[in-house]
Chain A
Amino acid sequence: MGDVVLRGFGWRHAGRKAWAVRGVDLRIVHGERVLLLGPSGAGKSTLLAALAGLLPEDSGESEGTVEIDGLDPRKARERVGIVFQDPQTQLVMSRSGDDVAFGLENRGVPAGEIWPRVDEALHRVGFGYGRDRPTGALSGGEQQRLALAGTLALRPGLLLLDEPTANLDPAGAALIRAAVTRALDDDTTLIIVEHRVADALTLVDRVVVLEPGGGVRADGPPGAVFAAHGDRLADEGVWVPGHPVAPRKAVTGPGSPLVRATAVTLHDRLAPTTLAAHQSEVLAVTGPNGSGKSTLALLLGGLLKPTSGTIDAGPGGAPHRWRAAELTTRIGSVFQDPEHQFVTHRVADELALGPRRIGRPEAEVRRVVDDLLQRLRLEKLAGANPYTLSGGEARRLSVATALATAPRLLVLDEPTFGQDRRTWIELADLLAGLRDDGHGIVAVTHDDDFVAALADSVHHLERTA
């Protein structure tokens, strides 16, 4: 069970010119544990979807063959389980036990067997609560554990994990790694896509690297693959272990303060906090989930009104009272989810919006837009719809939109979260450059690499509740 054979496999989504994945020859046998790697756009997720039988025949064009235990994956669905990135959109029911039972009901498992199998699956992933625990009360990592239990309860011969920790904080990611380690047995074939290689390495015994243009670039034991291809993969954006990123600390001391929060609170979300961010300084705000980091970013960004305490960001009173257009010229905010900030249908319009709102003449708007497109490697995408960008492109665009109105202070919420190594380095260089030009940067983050490489000072928040 769980044997995978691909011969010259390719898939092109309907309406696309380029093949998402092409020319893949691969054989994975019963019980193997494979890490599937490749730069962004190499087609890893498409390949997993194909193996899970989730590419309907009418949704694109296929080439070659893909078989699971000798069957078309669409007919072998009962043998395959898949866990996706986002726990929120994988849970179906409001009680944890019911959610694990959901798949068993769908597969027609006799009612008498369902609850014992639910309990067994919850135990396998180390779920710490009873069946009645509301799914809404679970943390992201716990929800993802539950999603894994819901898949394992179906006893798949082939388990596919599509970046299962990408949406989780480090604590949540650790929960999932522990759950997978605990749950795997010799009868389950595992294929995992994960660009944080170090997180997946303890789980696998074989690494397959997809070539973006098509085919398989490398295939073998992790040590051998990384010895031969590690440098190139790291350059292409894969987080290969043993390829640290260079620090980019400030060469001068911090300048005058740009924003000062004094005993600022927000009801139920942030305990009294006092801090200041300065010119020529990267201030990292760290702390566990629920400590109010994102809330603090919104307060410093002049987007929320504090319940008590004051925020002083220069003349004009509290920043939450400023008109939006003025705010963009003084404090730029970059949200965790770039798509929240997109308001137009073209990348170039997105960049022009801010300068136009503050009344810049059209010639200057065009100059700013062209400059940002070039600096952030978005020229080729000027006419694209922002919602169609990849994760890294969308992140670069969201930072660029904040820069378009040239604010002195930039507040970013998890700027490097889920980014590949290449985008990460670009962002780090960009932010370090802005800092060296005298900007103030506040970054809410739980990315230890980011703190180590960039932060000139750190403010740690404790959990409030």
Chain B
Amino acid sequence: MTLTLPTFEASTAPLARRNPVAKLAAALLFSGPLIATLDPLTPTIALAVELAVLPLFGMRYGTLFRRAWPLVLAAGGIVITLVMFAAERTGATVATLGPFEVTTGVLVTALGMVLRVFAIALPGIIVFATTDPTDLADALVQNVRAPARFAIGALAAFRLVPLLGEEWQMLSLARRARGVDAGRNPLAKLRLFVSTAFALLVGALRRGGRLAVAMDARGFDAGTPRTYARRQTFGRADAALMIGATLVSAAALTTTVLLGLFRPIVG
């Protein structure tokens, strides 16, 4: 098992170089309201908008697809679950799979949910794919006054993540070398997994401790107010991105309501 950090693509596209906090906020402001409705139209409009603005983030459609493909698995899971367990089976029967009656009502609900998953997740995927984690931490500290201890600390910890993959492999091999394996016994497998995970945790904590001491030795814990080597600015274009995201999301919901297709998640 190898862990690699999710990479980002440096880009000078107009939306990619917006302030990272503004991008993240815009993604939340855009996705948040979509949760309110269960109909398929709202997420369809949202997806259309997301795909339309993708070039403005300097991102290729192929890249987006590669990053989003795990969602396809989630979508498959939703369809299967609904076909098996949906309580309402309204509309005409399309097919009968053993004991399960697949009706148009079930399919519309499934389609709505699958579209929602994509519509809500894609903005986040786009933002993280086009944002340098360092810039995000800088912007969190400089523009929204997040504590540096938290933002920079998380960034430093993030750097150690790829090491965990190598460490896991070494620990597993070392256990085999000690004569410890699980064979086909599921209980032994679970025990082995837990003991390996525990050793991984112990190692990670020690490394984290050493890193914290090294950071403090370079003045991280000193009370001195920090200065910033890399400036993150929050300008009008950043505010406009956030406002625009809110307006487009609201417009999608309004369209649905006016067409009488709005299906509130509550009630």
A interface with B by C-beta (< 8 Å): 52, 54, 77-78, 81-82, 84, 86, 88-95, 98, 101-111, 114-115, 118, 135-136, 147, 150-151, 154, 298, 301, 303-304, 323-325, 327-328, 332-333, 335, 337, 339-343, 353-354, 357-358, 387, 401-402, 405
Contacts and interface: CB of A to CB of B under 8 A. Distances in A.
A102 B217 CA distance: 11
B175 interface: yes
Contacts of B189: none
Interface residues of B, number: 45
A297 B122 CA distance: 44
B217 A52 contact: yes
Nearest to B159: A94
A323 B183 contact: yes
A103 B174 CA distance: 37
Given A324-B179, A357-B180, A54 B155 contact: no
A353 B178 CA distance: 8
Contact of A333 (B177, B195, B227): B177
A77 B218 CA distance: 9
B237 interface: no
Interface in B95-125: none
Contact of B134 (A52, A89, A95, A405): A95
Interface stretch (B61-69, B74-82, B205-213): B205-213
A102 B141 CA distance: 14
B72 to A, nearest CB: 28
Contacts of A110: 227
Given A94-B159, A324-B180, A354-B179, A151 B134 contact: no
13 contacts: A84-B210, A86-B210, A89-B207, A92-B211, A93-B155, A105-B226, A106-B218, A107-B219, A151-B218, A154-B218, A301-B177, A324-B179, A405-B179
B220 interface: yes
A163 B229 CA distance: 30
B229 A104 contact: yes
A83 to B, nearest CB: 9
Given A92-B156, A332-B177, 11 more contacts: A89-B214, A92-B215, A102-B215, A104-B227, A110-B227, A323-B181, A324-B178, A327-B177, A335-B177, A340-B199, A357-B179
Given A52-B217, A95-B134, A335-B170, A341 B177 contact: yes
Given A304-B173, A340-B170, A92 B217 contact: no
Interface string B213-240: 1111111101011111111000000000
Nearest to B217: A82
B227 to A, nearest CB: 5
B163 interface: yes
A111 B227 contact: yes
B162 interface: yes
B237 to A, nearest CB: 23
Contacts of B152: 92, 102
B131 to A, nearest CB: 13
B51 to A, nearest CB: 30
B164 to A, nearest CB: 12
Contacts of A343: 175, 178, 180, 195, 199
A108 B225 contact: yes
A393 to B, nearest CB: 17
B48 interface: no
B211 A114 contact: no
